[in-house]
Amino acid sequence: QVQLVESGGGVVQPGRSLRLSCAASGSTFSSYAMHWVRQAPGKGLEWVAVISYDGRNNYYADSVKGRFTISRDNSKNTLYLQMNSLRAEDTAVYYCARDLLVGATTGGLDYWGQGTLVTVSS
Amino acid sequence: EIVMTQSPATLSVSPGERATLSCRASQSVSSNLAWYQQKPGQAPRLLIYGASTRATGIPARFSGSGSGTEFTLTISSLQSEDFAVYYCQQYNNWPTFGPGTKVDIK
């Protein structure tokens, strides 16, 4: 059974940084692209970033480009999201999610973690 | 960016009835369309991908159809556990989600 567990959320002041982690188990983590998706309180879903299965390629939503960095450590089965220069509008539950297909980056998301809440407030 | 719209925003249905949810893309996404179900306090769950393929473990009462810019999710006979918010998502380009349709009890 695939399991994704996020951690690292919390309350942070505007302009500060935070790093989220997503620990994966139950499948071959290194075979799948991984994504971060966020959901502001009471709002819909917003895709944030993706990293290829081998970590060589990553892409970002315009809203976070230049501030957030996605990375992975396949030896630790862990995905990361480094978030810098945080803004109030970054306040959301952040989910990690696995891509649909082995060895590809499709954008379809078949397994999701339970999410971690990031609150940006002074 | 491909903009996704969903209708209606809220759908009130009685248990056992059929529910039909619509999703439209601002440009063609071929069949690169997924549907997700989200209940309060939970993560989204994949229901349908490739516009019409049910994900693992999804009951047969859920079905998807469409291609290009027009898509439909049908729940043939609503069960109590189906009352939730449903999102469509295109992945033909960088992923974008629709605003969601809330299915509540009539």
Using one digit for the tens of pLDDT, what is the confidence trace for B28-42?
Answer: 999 999 999 999 999
Cβ-based neighbours of B41, under 8 Å, separated by 6 or more? none
Q: What is the pLDDT of residue A55?
A: 94
Q: What percent of chain B has pLDDT over 70?
A: 100
Q: 């960088």: which residue's tokens?
A: B94
- Helical spans, DSSP H, in chain B: none
Task: Among B46, B48, B93, B101, pick the best mutation site for testing chain A contact (most A Cβ within 10 A).
Answer: B46
SS3 label, residue A29:
helix
What pLDDT was estimated at residue A85?
98
Q: What span, in angstroms and rounded, lies between the C-alpha atoms of A97 and A113? A: 6
B interface mutation test: which of A109, A114, A116, A117 has the most B CBs within 10 A? Answer: A109
CB contact under 8 Å between A114 and B95, yes or no, is: no
CB atoms A115 and B45 under 8 Å:
no
Kindly state the tokens that stand for B61.
Answer: 């009462």
How high is the pLDDT of residue B34? 97
**Interface membership of B99 toward A (CB under 8 Å):** yes
**pLDDT tens digits, chain A, 122 residues: what are they?**
899 999 999 999 999 999 999 999 987 999 999 999 999 999 999 999 999 999 999 999 999 999 999 999 999 999 999 999 999 999 999 999 999 988 888 888 999 999 999 999 99
The tokens 């590809």 sit on which residue?
A104
Average pLDDT over residues B48-56: 96
Nearest CA in chain A to B40: A42
Q: Is the dihedral of CA B49, A55, A103, B30 positive or negative?
A: positive
Model pLDDT, residue B65: 98
Q: What is the rounded CA–CA span in Å between residue B62 and residue B46?
A: 11
Q: What is the mean pLDDT of residues B59-87?
A: 97
pLDDT of residue B106: 86
The whole-number pLDDT of residue B45 equals 97
| CB neighbour class for B104 (10 Å; exposed up to 12, middle 13-18, buried from 19) | exposed
Phi, psi of A31 (to 5 degrees): -95, -5
Residue B81: pLDDT band by 50, 70, 90 thresholds?
Answer: very high
Name which of A76, A119, A70 is nearest A99 in CA terms: A70
Q: Residue A26 has what pLDDT? A: 86
